[in-house]
Amino acid sequence: MKALSQKRRHPFAGVALLLLGLLITGGLYAAATTINQAQASNEADGYSASDVDEGERLFVANCATCHGINAEGTDAGPSLIGVGAASVDFQVGTGRMPMQMQGPQAQVKPQQFNDEQTMQLSAYVASLGAGPAVPAEEHTDADQGDPARGGELFRINCAMCHNAAAAGGALTEGKYAPSLHGVEERHIYEAMQTGPQNMPVFNDANIPPEDKRDIIAFLKTYDSQGTPGGFALGFLGPVSEGLFIWTGGLAVLIASMVWLTSRSS
């Protein structure tokens, strides 16, 4: 007791108690701020507590096997903490997730979840950490975009993988850049935001929201034009068209020669 009493009278005892109090106060403040920010983020994105709870239930039942019970990731799937609602809306909304089977990349297939369930899954993942949100309609309205400028931006940033006609193309190790024909506007925006599969991330510093909208306007305008020249031939351009004509022409000439020689004999 005497030793303890002496320590309490130590000249640095007050300083130590003050530091301990500051550490405890700071820790509690930081925890409360984090909770408030997460709640504010969910409310700002239009998600309610019930959306998050229902999304967690769906996640545990359908996604936790690969992504971990707390979405921290496993050997079979990456962590989803901080990927944001936009990533979930894209992957689940296009049917890529849940994956049908393991492979070089997730395949597009019919959606397993409806729009409400997709929103709830997005709400849950958004609650785990800050990330890109689902874009507002004003950023995906193709009617407000400039297709001509969008075409220029697409050829500079996207055509090397997706083809100048947005028909997609092969990459390495069995991977590929998918066709962008018929893809929903918000999914195009979300793909640029989140960089799914092998695609790089084009955040707002790289391509501002207005430029993303212009790219969407270009793709939707291209979709509406169809193939006025005839067969699309995979949208591969003059090389495939020339090869088709050359091969077809040779086939016609050879067939004509065979027919003429058979008639003469």
Answer yes or no: is 139 a known binding residue.
no
Q: What is the DSSP string of 106-139?
A: PPP---SS-HHHHHHHHHHHHHHS--PPPPPHHH
Between CA 56 and CA 62 the distance in angstroms is 10
Residue 102 CA to residue 1 CA, distance in Å, equals 67
Bridge partners of 176, per DSSP, are 170
H or E element, residue 169: strand 169-170
The answer to the question of whether 161 is labelled as a binding residue is yes
What does the alpha-carbon distance between residue 132 and residue 123 come to, in Å, rounded to a whole number?
A: 12
Q: Contacts for 66-75 with beta carbons within 8 Å, 24 or more apart? A: 66/98, 66/99, 71/125, 71/128
Token couple for 206: 């790289």
Distance CA 42, CA 2 (A): 55
User: What's the alpha-carbon Rg for the chain, to the nearest Å?
Assistant: 28
Residue 67 labelled as part of a binding site: yes
Q: Consult the annotation and say whether 187 binds a ligand.
A: no
Residue set of the binding site for heme c: 63, 66-67, 158, 161-162
Residue set of the binding site: 63, 66-67, 158, 161-162
